[in-house]
Structure 1
Amino acid sequence: MFETLFAPGLDGSSETPLNEQLQTMLRHAILNGSLPAGHRLPASRALADRLAISRNTVLAAYEHLIAEGYLETRQGAGTYVSADLPDTSLTMTAVPDGERTPHSAREKKAARPLSGMPALDQFPTDIWARIAGSVWRHAREAELLYNDPAGYLPLRRAISTYLEAARGVTAGPDQIVITSGLQQGVRLVMESLVEEGRAIVLEDPGYPGMTSAAKTLSNPVVYTRVDSDGAVPPKMAGVPAGLLITSPSRQYPLGQTMPLKRRLEILDWAQRENCFVLEDDYDSEFRYAGRPINSLQGIDGGERVIYGGSFSKSLFLALRLGYLVLPERFVEPLLKHRAAVDSFPSISNQLMLTRFIEEGHFARHIRRLRGVHKTRLGLFMEAAERWLSPYFTFQQSDTGLHVVATSKLNHMRDIELSLIAGRAGVGASPLSETYREQAPQHGLLFGFANLQEREINNRLKELATLLSQQTGF
C-alpha cells in the first residue's frame, strides 16, 4: 500500500518542507479512503527508513495530523487513522492566494496591514490545534450547556491566578466577567453601574474605538488631556463624572507609563468625584526593560477601579475574548444586566483558552514574544533611522507594539501617509485620528512587532522610496 501511496515520492528539491509534503500525502490518502479509518500507520522509524528521510520529519507530520484530528495514538499500540475524522463536508474549496480579491470596501480596509499587532508568526498554532481537537473530543454535556453570564469558571480561575502573579491584581474568580472585548465591557459597565447623566471621561488623545463605543451610549462624553505622566485628573464643569477610562500601563497612543504619583492623584480624584475608574491595561505584557508598575487596581485594593483587559494583543485579534475585574459589590448588578442583554459568552474559545493557560503555554508564549518583540523593535529603530529620518521623528520606546513617529511632511496629511505605508506592507495608523478636543499632532503609529526580522529593513526602505517619489526628496 505505502509503495503506491508515496509514488513518485517526496521531492527533496521542493521549497515545501518534507514534513508538509508528507502531511499532504497522508491527509489526501485518508480523505480519499486509501487509508481507511482505524488503519495502523507504520512506526515513525520504519516509515523514515522506507522514505529515506529523518525520523523527526515523520514525527512532525504525524503530530500535525494528530492535532488536526486525522490521526490518533493508542498507548502502546502505535498511530492509527482516526475513527472520527474532521468533518470536511462543509469545507469550501480553497482559493489560491493570488486569486483572492476583496469584494467590498470593508474587506479592502481589513486587507491593509494593521499597526499594533503582536508577532503572529510566533503563535503556536500546532499547540492551539491540538488543544482544540482534544477539547472537542472530550467535551462533556455540562460544558456544552454552560450558560453562566460571568463566563467559564475554570477560565476565570486561570485569569485570576495569572493577573495576581503578573500584574498585582487583587481579585478572585467570582469578581471576573468574561467579555468579547474591552469595548463590550465598557458598555456593560456603563449600562449597569453608572447613573444616567454622569459622564464618561476619556483620554485625549486616546483610542478611537473607545470613543466610538462611548458615543453609542446616552451618557455625555468628556475628555481629559494627557501630559508626560499620562491622563490628567479632569476638572469637571457642569456634569458629574461617572467613569474615567485610562491606560496607565502604556498610554494609547503616546506610549508613556503613568508613574505612581499620578496614579495616586487619579485615585484621589475618583474618590472626591464618587465615580469609577476603568483601567485599560493596554500592552501591559510587553515591557522590554524592567518590570511593569503594579496595576492601578492593585494599588486601589479593588474599591473603585475596574480592571479591563483582553487577549487580542497577547494572542490574536480574532479570538475576541476579554475580561473585567470588578469590585465585589458591582458583580451582581453587572451580571444581572449582562444576562438580560447578552445571556452568556460563547463557550468554544473559552474552553481552548483555559487549557492554553493551565498547561503553561500562555506564560511561555508571552515570555517568547517579549524577546522577539524586543529584537524587532531594535531592528525597526535602526532601519527607521537609516531610511525614514528625513520624513519622521521617532520616539524612543521600550514598551508596547507600536512606535510613535511625528511627521516632518507638513504638506501631507498623516492619513495619506498611512496609506503609503500600507502600500509598502507596513502597518501604520494616523496619529491625528486619536485626538478629539486637543490640537492634534500629525504622524504615524508604526507597528513593528508583526514584521519578521528579515522583512524590516526592506519594508522601510520601500516606504522611503515611495515617500521620495511623493515628496521629491
Structure 2
Amino acid sequence: KKYMELYREMRQDIVEGRYGFSERLPSKRYLSEERGISLITVEHALALLEEEGYIEGKERSGYFVSYQEGDVFPVTDKEEKAGFIDFFKRKTAVSREQMSYPTIAKAVRRAMSKYQEEILEASEMQGKFFLRRALKEYLRRGRGIFVEEEQMILGAGAENLYALLAQILGEEKRFAVESPSYDKMQRIYESHGIQLELLPMGKNGIESAALQKAKAKVLHVTPFHSYPTGITADASKRREYLDFAHRNGAVIIEDDYDSEFSPLGKPEDCLFSMEAGENVFYMNSFSKTIGPAFRMAYLLLPKKNLKENLEKISFYSCSVPVLEQCILTELLESGEFERHINRVRRSRRIRKKSREEE
C-alpha cells in the first residue's frame, strides 16, 4: 500500500537522522505532489508516524520530528508523572473481542479430522513443529517478525513462560520491572529467588532517570498497553530501552500481550523486530486475542546463546495439550485468526472515532 511505503521511508529518514529532532517535515501538499499520491494517502502515513511518536503535529504549523536517539535522555517525564488510572478496570466490549464459538467449533472439527491419532501423541518440548511453522508464517506475514521454529517455545499461558524465563535468566538474580506492573509476574519471579528493581512509570514508559540508574541485567517491559496503567511507549522510549540493554550488557523481556489489537493501520513495532532478535526475549499470549479460556502463549528466544538457553529448560515437557495446538494451527493456517484480529481492529477504530466525536 502506498501509505505504508511513505510511512516506512519517512520513518527510516527520521531514525537515520535525515530529519533531525524538532525539524519540520515537508508539507502534506508537497509530499502529495512530489510523489504523485493523494493527500489522504499522505495523511494516513503521517497519522501512523504521529501515533507511534516519531512526529508531532502542531496546528497551522505542520509536523515536526519528536523522535530522539535513545542515548539522548529526554527530561520531560521528570515532572510529568502519569496520572494513573486502572486502564483495565474500565468496562470494555470483551465478549465482542473474543473469537466466536462457531469459528472455534469449526477449527476443532477440522483439527480432529486432519490430525486424528496424532492428537494422542506427546508434543515436542518446544511445541508441535507444525504449529511453530504456522506461527512463524503468521508472525512474518502479520507482524513483520522474522524468526525460526527452533527459537519458539509454547507454554500454557504467560505465567508458565515467566517461570521458564526465570529458569533461563535467573542466574542474574535481579530483574528490573515497570512500577506498577502485573502482580502475578512479580510474584512468580520472586518465587524463583529473583530480586526485583521497581522502575517508576512516566507518561510514555519507564522514567528515563530511573532507567539510567538501574543496575539489573534483565529488563522486563510491556511497551504496548502496560498493565495496569495502559501506557504505551513511543518510538523514542522503545529505542531508549534497547540502548539501555546495549550499554549495560543486559537483555530485555518484551511482554507484548495486546499489540495485535492496536487501532493503527499496522501492528505496533516490537523491540524484538527492531533489535533483529539479538538480546530481546519476546512473549505473547492467545488468551487476549482468542479468549481467556485459551491458555496458550509463546516465547521467542534470541538467536544469541540459543542452544545454551534451550539446554537450561530441556528437562521440561510442553505444557500445552496437543489438541489445543492442533486447533490453533487450524486457526492460523485457515486465516481465521487474522480475520478475527482485523475485525476487532476495525471495531476499535470505529469506537475510538465515535468517542472523539462526542
The match for 2:252 is 277
- Asked which structure has the greater CA Rg, the reply is 1
For residue 228 of structure 2, what is the amino acid of its counterpart?
Answer: P
The match for 1:232 is 207
Aligned residues of 2:154 and 2:320 also touching (Cα < 8 A): yes
The match for 2:145 is 169
The match for 1:373 is 348
Which residue of the other structure, out of 194, 197, 211, is the alignment partner of 1:222?
Answer: 197
The match for 1:307 is 282
Q: Say what the alpha-carbon RMSD is for the aligned residues.
A: 2.6
Cα offset for 1:229?
Answer: 2.2
- Determine helix, strand or coil for the equivalent of 1:254: coil
The match for 1:145 is 121
> Which string of whole-angstrom CA distances, capped at 9 and with x for unpartnered residues, describes residues 161-203 of structure 1?
2222333223112211111122221221121234243x11110
Which residue of the other structure, out of 122, 130, 138, is the alignment partner of 1:154?
Answer: 130
> Which string of whole-angstrom CA distances, capped at 9 and with x for unpartnered residues, describes residues 385-438 of structure 1?
8xxxxxxxxxxxxxxxxxxxxxxxxxxxxxxxxxxxxxxxxxxxxxxxxxxxxx
Alpha-carbon distance in 2 for matches of 1:121, 1:295: 22
Aligned residues of 2:251 and 2:281 also touching (Cα < 8 A): yes
Aligned residues of 2:181 and 2:228 also touching (Cα < 8 A): yes
> Which string of whole-angstrom CA distances, capped at 9 and with x for unpartnered residues, describes residues 229-249 of structure 1?
212352456xx4132111112
Which residue of the other structure, out of 125, 131, 142, is the alignment partner of 2:107?
Answer: 131
Alpha-carbon distance in 1 for matches of 2:100, 2:117: 28
Alpha-carbon distance in 2 for matches of 1:116, 1:245: 27
- Determine helix, strand or coil for the equivalent of 1:277: strand
> Which string of whole-angstrom CA distances, capped at 9 and with x for unpartnered residues, describes residues 17-59 of structure 1?
xxxxxxxxxxxxxxxxxxxxxxxxxxxxxxxxxxxxxxxxxxx
Aligned residues of 1:196 and 1:218 also touching (Cα < 8 A): no
- CA distance change for structure 1 residues 189 and 141 in 2, over 3 Å: closer, same or farther? same
- CA distance change for structure 1 residues 266 and 122 in 2, over 3 Å: closer, same or farther? closer
Cα offset for 1:328?
Answer: 2.1
- CA distance change for structure 1 residues 117 and 219 in 2, over 3 Å: closer, same or farther? farther
Aligned residues of 2:283 and 2:299 also touching (Cα < 8 A): yes
Cα offset for 1:220?
Answer: 0.5
Q: How does 1:356-367 map to 2 (within 5 A)?
A: 356-367=331-342
**Does residue 287 of structure 1 match 2:262?**
yes
- Determine helix, strand or coil for the equivalent of 1:270: helix
Cα offset for 1:140?
Answer: 4.0
Cα offset for 1:292?
Answer: 4.0
Cα offset for 1:330?
Answer: 4.2
Long gaps (5+) in structure 1: 1-112, 386-473
Alpha-carbon distance in 2 for matches of 1:138, 1:170: 28
Identity rate, percent: 29
The match for 1:178 is 154
The match for 1:205 is 180
Cα offset for 1:268?
Answer: 1.4
Alpha-carbon distance in 1 for matches of 2:162, 2:200: 20
Long gaps (5+) in structure 2: 1-88
- CA distance change for structure 1 residues 164 and 115 in 2, over 3 Å: closer, same or farther? farther
Alpha-carbon distance in 2 for matches of 1:319, 1:302: 27
Cα offset for 1:378?
Answer: 5.7
- Determine helix, strand or coil for the equivalent of 2:115: coil
The match for 2:29 is none
Aligned residues of 1:189 and 1:334 also touching (Cα < 8 A): no
- CA distance change for structure 1 residues 336 and 116 in 2, over 3 Å: closer, same or farther? farther
Aligned residues of 1:252 and 1:282 also touching (Cα < 8 A): no
> Which string of whole-angstrom CA distances, capped at 9 and with x for unpartnered residues, describes residues 443-465 of structure 1?
xxxxxxxxxxxxxxxxxxxxxxx
- CA distance change for structure 1 residues 325 and 178 in 2, over 3 Å: closer, same or farther? same
- CA distance change for structure 1 residues 349 and 380 in 2, over 3 Å: closer, same or farther? farther
Alpha-carbon distance in 2 for matches of 1:335, 1:172: 14
Alpha-carbon distance in 1 for matches of 2:166, 2:342: 34
Alpha-carbon distance in 2 for matches of 1:258, 1:213: 24
The match for 1:338 is 313
Alpha-carbon distance in 1 for matches of 2:249, 2:186: 22
> Which string of whole-angstrom CA distances, capped at 9 and with x for unpartnered residues, describes residues 359-407 of structure 1?
010010111112233444566788xx8xxxxxxxxxxxxxxxxxxxxxx
Cα offset for 1:296?
Answer: 0.8
- Determine helix, strand or coil for the equivalent of 2:283: strand
- CA distance change for structure 1 residues 123 and 142 in 2, over 3 Å: closer, same or farther? closer
Q: How does 1:62-461 map to 2 (within 5 A)?
A: 118-120=94-96, 123-197=99-173, 199-232=174-207, 234-236=211-213, 240-376=215-351
> Which string of whole-angstrom CA distances, capped at 9 and with x for unpartnered residues, describes residues 93-129 of structure 1?
xxxxxxxxxxxxxxxxxxxx99667334762321211
TM-score scaled by length of structure 2: 0.67
- Determine helix, strand or coil for the equivalent of 2:108: helix
TM-score scaled by length of structure 1: 0.52
Alpha-carbon distance in 2 for matches of 1:344, 1:288: 32
Alpha-carbon distance in 2 for matches of 1:343, 1:351: 14
- Determine helix, strand or coil for the equivalent of 2:273: helix
Q: Which range moves more in the overlay, 323-332 or 275-284?
A: 323-332
For residue 217 of structure 2, what is the amino acid of its counterpart?
Answer: G
Cα offset for 1:311?
Answer: 0.6
